[in-house]
A = this chain, B = another copy of it.
């Protein structure tokens, strides 16, 4: 690690350079043009933009937008160590919490102590999903891959044999945090099923 004159700035810069690795963490979804897999850093930017653009649909009590975006900027950093766990991967989910906790300690631990604490608090707030900001942030985080999947004719749904019922269950946070967006989700999923992007029931094996 490069050491600078100011010890506090040295730690902050080490953290900011480490964060660069999130650009190499690939998600299951493709970009909407289908050209390549999306990485978690550009996803984090995009959900910030979703939060900004769709904030009017957040349920009461209205989340503070600035704080919701802070949660979104920070919450995926743990994937640098823990990787992106696919939403419908039950095995991956069994130890997800432990892996991400260790990652959060290491990565946010690069910062000066007071910031380690505040970033860990942001990360935990998002994970616990109880504050209005965390509820709304979770909602846009779940909504985002639907746009990619719809645009790419269900690429990651098909790749992984995901069913509409699973997607609907995964979108539950949207129902609570932004009911109007939940109606949009239902409309999108219906079209996805109608067009053959998403299976409504398990496909017969061996066809």
In the bound complex, CA of A4 to CA of B180 (Å): 13
Residues on B with beta carbons closer than 8 Å to the beta carbon of A91: none
* Cβ contact within 8 Å between A53 and B23: no
Asked if A52 contacts B70 (CB within 8 A), the reply is yes
A49 & B184 in contact (Cβ 8 Å cutoff) = no
For A17, list chain B residues within 8 Å (CB). Answer: 32, 147, 151
- Roughly how many angstroms separate A13 CA and B22 CA in the complex, as a whole number? 26
Taking CB atoms, residues of chain B closer than 8 Å to A20 are 31-33, 46, 147-148, 151
User: What separation, in Å, do the CA atoms of A19 and B74 have in the docked complex?
Assistant: 21
- In the complex the two chains form, is B53's CB within 8 Å of A15's CB? yes
**Which of the 9-residue segments A35-43, A94-102, A164-172 touches chain B?**
A35-43
Question: Closest residue to A140 on the B side, CB-wise?
Answer: B16
Which of A59-67, A82-90, A198-206 lines the interface with chain B? Answer: A59-67
Tell whether A49 pairs with B73 under 8 Å between CB atoms, given A147-B17, A187-B5: yes
A24, B16: Cβ atoms closer than 8 Å: no
User: Are A35 and B24 neighbours in the complex by a CB distance under 8 Å?
Assistant: yes
- Is A48 located at the chain interface by the 8 A CB criterion? yes
* Cα distance, A19 to B70, chains bound together (Å): 20
Inter-chain CA distance A38–B41, complex, in Å, is 11
Name the one of B5, B31, B73, B187 contacting A23, with C-beta atoms under 8 angstroms.
Answer: B31
A48–B69 CB distance below 8 A = yes
Contact among B19, B35, B66, B188 with A49 in the assembled complex (CB-CB below 8 Å): B19
Residues of B within 8 A of A2 (CB): 150
Cross-chain contact A187 with B32 (CB below 8 angstroms): no
Name the distance in Å between A64's Cβ and chain B's nearest Cβ: 7
* A16-B73 contact, Cβ under 8 Å, with A5-B187, A31-B23, A66-B66: no
Q: Are A4 and B187 in contact (CB under 8 A)?
A: yes
- Assess whether A111 is interfacial by the CB under 8 Å rule: yes
Q: Is the CB of A16 within 8 A of B66?
A: no
Which chain B residues border A24 with CB–CB below 8 Å? 31, 33, 35
